Amino acid sequence: MTMEAQRSQNPAQVRQDCLDQLDSLAEALARRGLRARLVTPAGRLPSLHAVNPAAPALAEDIYAGPCRDSGWWYWWSWAERIAVCADVEGAALQISRVLAARPAGAPFAG
């Protein structure tokens, strides 16, 4: 069994890997002016609550998790992939675009 396979079977290690991925994303979001905090409820998946401080209603919970087909991914709360975790800056860009405040009637440029 490979080291990767062994780690994926250890729930505590998977949780720690998830927290590490989310922590990296939190730092990238902060550089883009967003607030982000880790949410770690007992018995549930950790998430990152990201908020646009200029428009607090623009907020989203982000998850990280391993996929069978291609490593770790960041996910929207509605179970759509954002980006591979190896592309932290790409994920931060995508999230910042979705959480960006727009004037009324302005089109989404996601």
One DSSP character per residue, 50-63 reads EE-TTSTT-EEEEE
Assigned domain for 104 exists: no
Distance CA 29, CA 94 (A): 10
> How many helices (DSSP H) and strands (DSSP E) are in the chain?
3, 5
Is residue 17 domain-resident? yes
Bigger pLDDT: 110 vs 94:
94
Residue 108 domain-assigned (yes or no):
no
| Residue 109 in domain | no
Distant-in-sequence, close-in-space partners of 90: CB < 8 Å, separation ≥ 6: 83
CA 92 vs. chain centroid, Å, equals 8
Domain assignment of residue 18, yes or no: yes
Task: Write down the pLDDT at residue 95.
Answer: 98
Q: Rounded mean pLDDT of 60-86?
A: 92
Q: Residue 105 carries which side chain, given as an amino acid letter?
A: G
- Count: domains in the chain: 1
Q: Which pLDDT score, from 0 to 100, does residue 38 have?
A: 97
Question: Which residue range(s) make up the domain with 72?
Answer: 3-98
Q: Is the pLDDT of residue 42 over 70?
A: yes
**Residue 110 counted as domain residue:** no
Q: How confident is the model at residue 99 (pLDDT cuts 50, 70, 90)?
A: very high
Q: Predicted confidence band at 43 (pLDDT cuts at 50, 70, 90)? A: confident
User: pTM, whole model, 2 decimals?
Assistant: 0.82
When pLDDT is averaged across residues 82-109 and rounded to a whole number, the result is 85
69 lies in a domain?
yes
